[in-house]
Structure 1
Amino acid sequence: METRESYEAALAALIWQIELGADEAIADAPLDRYALSASAMAAQAKAAQAAAAPVPAKGALPTPVRAPEIDPVAEARAAAEAASDLGALSAAMEAFDHCELKRGARSFVFCDGVPAARLMIVGEAPGREEDRAGRPFVGRAGQLLDRMLAAIGLDRRSEDPAKAVYICNVLPWRPPENRKPEAAERAMFKPFLEKHIALAAPEVLVLMGNTPCETLLGRAGITRIRGQWAEVLGRPALPTFHPAYLLRTPQAKREAWLDLQQIRFRLEAAP
């Protein structure tokens, strides 16, 4: 049986070892590493090399392969080129998953009006009312647009291609809080828009607001470029104010009226 003196001596020895930094028990007996055999040292060296060496191919886990980066514009271009008609283009645009706007929008907004119309209007993006209805230009701005078109004898509901209108937007999904579409979003949907124009084959294009002008003409500053005819995909295109801008800036309606007259004259002059 241990005595009080032997216990205190053992405790004092333990405290002394802890003070020297020995805080972990490795083995019951000390190990003289200098006395290790050459074979044991060689085995240790081999084990260290094996730990540092790459995992052998046999039975090894496959090396992770970095997924190639996706180019949304290239994907959009391929999808647009594969569309042979407006129905296929609509399906391709709705299935396009590289635009985050799709996650927050309620409806896919493709077009309105008559595809065979001589006049095609390109707007910016759906607003709240358009997102609910699934059609472009149905809110207050759309109602103003209808009155503007009626003033020059056009109607998006007309069955007569000479009087009908075809309408779409640069983006088919509503941006949050109706913010302006970003450059990356415009770039993604530009191939779809160009194919949309090619399939609809209008005689005259009207670009309403800065967003379609930036997308199709590479130019902004609608107050400077409105009323000046340009060319898009071999077709005459007229930049003009967006009806939403006219609601905010009624004094600009005079310039918008002049643009409407240009559109009417262009359509009447065409054979």
Structure 2
Amino acid sequence: MNTVPTYQGIELDGETALALLQWQAEMGADEAMLDVPLDRFELAPRQGGAAAAPPLQAQPPASARPTPQSAQDDDLKTRIGRAETLAAAATDLEALAMAQQEFDGIELKKGARNFCFADGNQKARVLVLGEAPGDEEDRQGRPFVGQAGQLLDRMFDAIGLSRNAVDAEKSVYIANVLSWRPPGNRDPSDEEIALSMPFLRRHVELVSPDLVVLMGNVPCQAAIGRRGILRLRGQWTEAFGRPALPMTHPAYLLRNPIAKREAWADLLSLSARLESLSV
């Protein structure tokens, strides 16, 4: 007895059924699947050649099953632990830079052109901490070399400091929270900051500056756990066990020239603090 194929209760002729089958194949449904994987090699054949259904297995209680989030958290803790071990073993800046470059726990390095570690005099009294490399920094492998970097140089030159100065008393040392450029110059994620912190803390320890300048929201978040640079700027605090001064990022000053007056006041405060420490 011939039967007519149906779809959702509607009788189909051969041409329509074939068209539906082709549409399903175009949508990617090229194989009949069950809700769970089925290993047919492990099934004992029934009489008549049909495969027997696999026995049901008891599932562990939901509380005992690892959730995707908990597994992700465990993986992050493991990677942070590796970063801490590598950073702690570095006895100088060259070794630290090599250890950070070899660290594979952060995805950013796979999409960046260059590793941007630092620039300036390693014996400088002032460490300037930025956010992350931009496009030009990624090209050159040096922090703060684009338009914002050029403004940064002019700002510190106005109070007698320079990244190129040989004299440690008149020099600055520049680094970033992240040493690889985030795609599209986006803000660093919390995970990326957490993975970078072991290297950053060791970086500051090895340079051992008298003062730290936190340029923007991301350095403030990383160093003192706070954001809101327009409220924080100009107010001395402590970061990495040292006096620290939050300042607006030069990129912000380029977009808002009127804010340069406040930045100048912050620079004068920095200069006065340096003088007081020299007495």
Shorter-chain TM-score: what band?
A: 0.7 to 0.9
In structure 1, C-alpha distance between the alignment counterparts of 2:133 and 2:201, rounded to whole Å:
18
| Among candidates 176, 190, 193, match of residue 183 of structure 2 | 176
In structure 1, C-alpha distance between the alignment counterparts of 2:75 and 2:255, rounded to whole Å:
42
List gaps (5 residues or longer) in structure 1: 1-14, 20-43, 45-50, 53-65
* Residue 166 of structure 1, CA deviation: 0.3
User: Hey, what does 1:218 align to over in structure 2?
Assistant: 225
Note the alpha carbon deviations across 1:30-49, whole angstroms, 9 max, x for none: xxxxxxxxxxxxxx9xxxxx
User: Hey, what does 2:254 align to over in structure 1?
Assistant: 247
**2:249 aligned partner, one-letter code:** H
SS at match of 1:270: helix
In structure 2, C-alpha distance between the alignment counterparts of 1:103 and 1:122, rounded to whole Å:
23
Please report the RMSD computed on the Cα atoms of aligned residues, expressed in angstroms.
2.3
In structure 1, C-alpha distance between the alignment counterparts of 2:261 and 2:124, rounded to whole Å:
26
The within-5 A match list for 1:26-45 is none
| Among candidates 94, 111, 119, match of residue 118 of structure 2 | 111
Are positions 1:230 and 2:217 aligned together?
Answer: no
TM-score by length of structure 1 reads 0.75
Paired residues, number: 216
SS at match of 1:239: strand
In structure 2, C-alpha distance between the alignment counterparts of 1:153 and 1:70, rounded to whole Å:
43
The within-5 A match list for 1:103-142 is 103-142=110-149
In structure 1, C-alpha distance between the alignment counterparts of 2:75 and 2:192, rounded to whole Å:
17
In structure 1, C-alpha distance between the alignment counterparts of 2:76 and 2:130, rounded to whole Å:
28
Are positions 1:188 and 2:212 aligned together?
Answer: no
SS at match of 1:267: helix
Are positions 1:79 and 2:89 aligned together?
Answer: no
In structure 1, C-alpha distance between the alignment counterparts of 2:76 and 2:179, rounded to whole Å:
21
SS at match of 1:167: strand
- Which has the larger Rg? 1
In structure 2, C-alpha distance between the alignment counterparts of 1:186 and 1:70, rounded to whole Å:
12
SS at match of 1:247: helix
In structure 2, C-alpha distance between the alignment counterparts of 1:141 and 1:233, rounded to whole Å:
25
TM-score by length of structure 2 reads 0.73
SS at match of 1:152: coil
* Residue 70 of structure 1, CA deviation: 5.6
Note the alpha carbon deviations across 1:127-153, whole angstroms, 9 max, x for none: 000000000000000000010011000
Are positions 1:268 and 2:272 aligned together?
Answer: no
In structure 2, C-alpha distance between the alignment counterparts of 1:207 and 1:93, rounded to whole Å:
21
In structure 2, C-alpha distance between the alignment counterparts of 1:69 and 1:187, rounded to whole Å:
13
User: Hey, what does 2:157 align to over in structure 1?
Assistant: 150
In structure 2, C-alpha distance between the alignment counterparts of 1:101 and 1:183, rounded to whole Å:
13
Of all paired residues, the percent bearing the same amino acid is 55
User: Hey, what does 1:257 align to over in structure 2?
Assistant: 264
